[in-house]
Amino acid sequence: MHGVLILDKPRGVSSAAAVNKVKKALRASRAGHGGTLDPMATGVLAVCLGAATKIAPYLLADDKEYEAEGMLGFETDTLDATGDVIATREVNVTREALEAAITARRGEQDQMPPMYSALKQQGQRLYRLARVGEVVERAVRRIRIDRLELVDFASPRFTVSIACSKGTYVRSLVADIGADVGAGAHLTALRRTRSGRFSIAQAVSLADVEAGTCDIAAALVAPRDAVDLPCVTVHGDQITTIRNGVQVPLDRMGAEGHERFQLVDDAGRMLAICHAHEGKVIYDRVLAELMTQSVLAMGAAADSDDDNP
């Protein structure tokens, strides 16, 4: 079983725990995920199975879309509903003022990562420092908010729809909006509706996976379709060359004009992710299991030809 399963992660389960549950239910040899969701969040989680675990890092850079609910008037130490309330304020915010603050937050901007995050500072996770009361200087990150729209407002709660670049902390965004209207705010619910090429419409529930009531074969996304990279098809001896890790000129692989690309066989199996360097093919990831399948298929086809001259 090699591919990416788009999971609708339920609330209250960590991404790692959700992946382990899928791995156990499907008896997968290996499993990982491309893009963490906090336990309180729900929605699109790309679970990479088997050989597809090799492509997980290529899913992290994708843009994301969310629906987020915030509550005005309360600030928490974690910036979301899992934390302790550290400040309360009176809420006298009009819809017009909230919409103006939201509009101002669109586009490129600097964002301060929250202390309760998995980022490392001097080798330690920030959330571990935060748990013992330490607050350290953090470097701001450049993020991009492509879409930010007010969906609903029933004070003190508001819901926004977001399309953003990788690395955006939605709870920080909600807290910033609260600060902009002078009331403070924290994130109360978060649902990821898109991650790169994957949408919530493709997702299967964890309950169905564990119960065996969904068609996994139909839901599984092939590695070649999971990454946004051009495909270069290779044949015959070229496959053996890849398997042996031999660097060859781009034109020998038919990969001229590509900076980063994937190599696939005639059946569409992803064999490797590569980049060009000084006119040669450099292998970044080789999917050994799919490579073996391709070589075996070549052998079977050769045997068939021998039997039917």
236-266 pLDDT tens trace? 888 888 888 888 899 988 889 899 999 999 9
96-142 pLDDT tens trace? 999 999 999 999 999 988 877 777 777 777 777 778 777 777 788 99
Q: Report whether pLDDT(166) > 80.
A: yes
34-49 pLDDT tens trace? 888 999 999 999 999 9
Q: Buried b vs exposed e over 218-251: b needs ≥16 C-beta within 10 Å?
A: ebbbebbebbebeebebeeebbebbbeeeeeebe
CA atoms in the 13 A half-sphere facing the CB of 67: 10
Average pLDDT over residues 5-16: 96
Nearest Cα residue to 185 out of 76, 32, 294, 66: 76
Res 126: pLDDT:
76
Angle (deg, nearest 10), helices 170-180 and 95-104: 130
Catalytic residue among 8, 38, 77, 80: 38
182-234 pLDDT tens trace? 999 999 999 999 999 999 999 999 999 999 999 999 999 999 999 999 999 99
Average pLDDT over residues 53-75: 93
Strand partners, 233: 264
Average pLDDT over residues 60-75: 94
Q: Is 284 a catalytic residue?
A: no
Torsion of the alpha carbons at 11, 158, 85 and 176, rounded to the nearest 10? 110
Res 300: pLDDT:
57
> What is the chain's mean pLDDT, rounded?
90
Q: Report whether pLDDT(288) > 90.
A: no
Res 180: pLDDT:
97
Res 308: pLDDT:
54
